[in-house]
Amino acid sequence: MAVASGNWWLLNSLWVLISAWGALFWASVFCIYRGLLGQPIWLRVGTTIFAWFVIAEWLRAFSHWNFEWGFLGIALAEVDALRQWASVFGVSFLSLILLVPSLLLVEFVLGDNRRKKILLSIIGVTIGLFLWFFGAALRMDALEGLPVYRVAAFQYAPPVPRAGVTALGVSPDWFSAISTLAKKKYRLLVLPESISSHAVSFDGDRAESLGPKRQVLKGAWEAEFAYLLSEAPQTYVVVGTEGVEEKKVYNSTSVWNADGLLGWQHKVRLVPFAEYLPFGWGFLGSRALTYYRAGQDSLPIKAGPFMIGSFICQEIQHGAISRDLVMNGANILVTGGNDGVFSDSRVAQIHHSFARIRATETRRYLVRAMKTGVSSIVSPNGDVIGQSPGREATLIGAKVSLMNDQSMWVRFGHIPLIMLMLTGAVLAFFIVIFGKHRF
């Protein structure tokens, strides 16, 4: 949706300020660390690495309307052995893994004590070897004895018709594609978000904020899927559209088969200024591109053997959402989106890296279908099983197993990392207070 001309200057100024704030924030973090350089190394390392850096990342996200735009640890998505630590401590620990050698290198370069440099080298190598070998040991073994299901992600982006042009607001090309894909007898087929210009009313209510041409009852979709999937009754299709429930409009994912609608999930974490307007900004004349209500719960959708944990587009950046879905019983994760809305193609790769981390954190297969960008299927170890080669229409298929065990990250969340940080801080405190050596 195009940005209104009166809103353009404010939104673009806002993103410039957000970028400047990110640079200023991390510059401030570095200045705080520089202020500790006159203190013993154990105090610097203990208080910096094991305490306030993770808190600083959280505060940075919170300062952006509580939306987690990214974490330093995502850079380790390509490093298999280190990525596995996400299943224990989450992505914040991966940020620490990246920070440790950086801080040790600063200490090594700025230090003028030969004994100190030797000690730092030993510490750095020891930590690196420990993280690498124990991380490699955390990989899940080959899954044997579990049922295998064929699943697919379909990357496709035909033009979306204007409201009222077609009965469901969906391009006829979509239905032709679904009919063809149904013959392949995949058990689960995941489509991108926003394939229709019409909102789907899941409970029969109509939203007053949408005109009559912009919404359709679920029965019309059920009739279409009954026809499209008549020869594939065991195929479940995940679709991303706007949804209406209790007269409110949501960004939603729904699951269908030949028998009709099986369930839906509303987007919980909305994108500020794109999907909702943060409090107070309306006084400045700003308007959101769309106005959605946020979903309240992250609940899986039951579809045959699948307990589908669904999240939408940039929710891939929020580890708490995928964790909640798995805690509530999801045995597979799916997500749809459209990274083509970003002018920088690197954003799509960053979101793909998030998908690898989310799969590793939860130890679930993750199926990701985008209109454009990077569609993929990722294993519980974060390995890429299949990936789209570019922006063109692509079908990615794979065989997956449904997982029911919960990783340490899913069971305990940030508690192990908090305990680790507290242990490091307390240890540093006692070394400084009772120790006789200053390094």
- Shared domain for 176 and 82, answered yes or no, is no
- Shared domain for 161 and 220, answered yes or no, is yes
For residue 392, what pLDDT is reported? 83
Query: pLDDT > 70: what percent of the chain?
Result: 75
Rounded to whole angstroms, the Cα distance separating 102 from 113 reads: 19
The number of folded domains in the chain is 2
For residue 60, what pLDDT is reported? 63
Residue 12 lies in a domain: no
Residue 340 lies in a domain: yes
CA 349-315-267 angle, to 5 degrees, is 145
- Whether the per-residue pLDDT at 400 is higher than 90: the answer is yes
For residue 6, what pLDDT is reported? 46
- Shared domain for 262 and 304, answered yes or no, is yes
Residue 302 lies in a domain: yes
- Shared domain for 221 and 299, answered yes or no, is yes
CA 205-210-211 angle, to 5 degrees, is 100
- Shared domain for 111 and 236, answered yes or no, is no
**Which residue in 231, 250, 356, 332 sits closest to 293, CA to CA?**
250
- Whether the per-residue pLDDT at 417 is higher than 50: the answer is yes
- Shared domain for 176 and 280, answered yes or no, is yes
Number of Cβ within 10 Å of residue 296's Cβ equals 8
Number of Cβ within 10 Å of residue 243's Cβ equals 27
Write the CATH number for 378: 3.60.110.10
Q: Which of 45-59, 246-260, 305-319, 347-361 has the lowest mean pLDDT?
A: 45-59
With b for 16 or more beta-carbon neighbours within 10 A and e for fewer, the 120-144 pattern comes to: beeebeeeeeebeeebeebbeeeee
For residue 73, what pLDDT is reported? 84
Determine the average pLDDT of the residues in 359-367.
Answer: 97
The residue range of the domain holding 212 is 149-401
Residue 90 lies in a domain: yes
- Shared domain for 193 and 122, answered yes or no, is no
Instruction: Copy the structure tokens of residue 341.
Output: 């809305």
- Shared domain for 366 and 425, answered yes or no, is no
For residue 272, what pLDDT is reported? 80
pLDDT in tens, 268-294: 988 887 777 776 666 555 555 567 888
pLDDT in tens, 24-36: 555 566 656 556 5
- 147 with 367: CB under 8 angstroms? no
Determine the average pLDDT of the residues in 372-399.
Answer: 92
Rounded to whole angstroms, the Cα distance separating 424 from 439 reads: 17
pLDDT in tens, 54-101: 666 666 666 666 666 667 788 899 999 999 999 999 988 888 888 777
- Shared domain for 157 and 223, answered yes or no, is yes
- Shared domain for 262 and 164, answered yes or no, is yes
Determine the average pLDDT of the residues in 135-159.
Answer: 89
Rounded to whole angstroms, the Cα distance separating 55 from 319 reads: 16
Number of Cβ within 10 Å of residue 305's Cβ equals 14
Residue 25 lies in a domain: no
SS (H, E, C) 341-387: HCCCCHHHHHHHHHHHHHHHHHCCCEEEEECCCCCEEECCCCCEEEE
- 391 with 372: CB under 8 angstroms? yes
Instruction: Copy the structure tokens of residue 407.
Output: 């990783």
Contacts of 221 (CB under 8 A, 6+ apart): 168, 200, 256, 261
**pTM of this structure:** 0.86
- Shared domain for 269 and 164, answered yes or no, is yes
- Shared domain for 155 and 250, answered yes or no, is yes
- 183 with 265: CB under 8 angstroms? no
- 318 with 68: CB under 8 angstroms? yes
For residue 4, what pLDDT is reported? 43
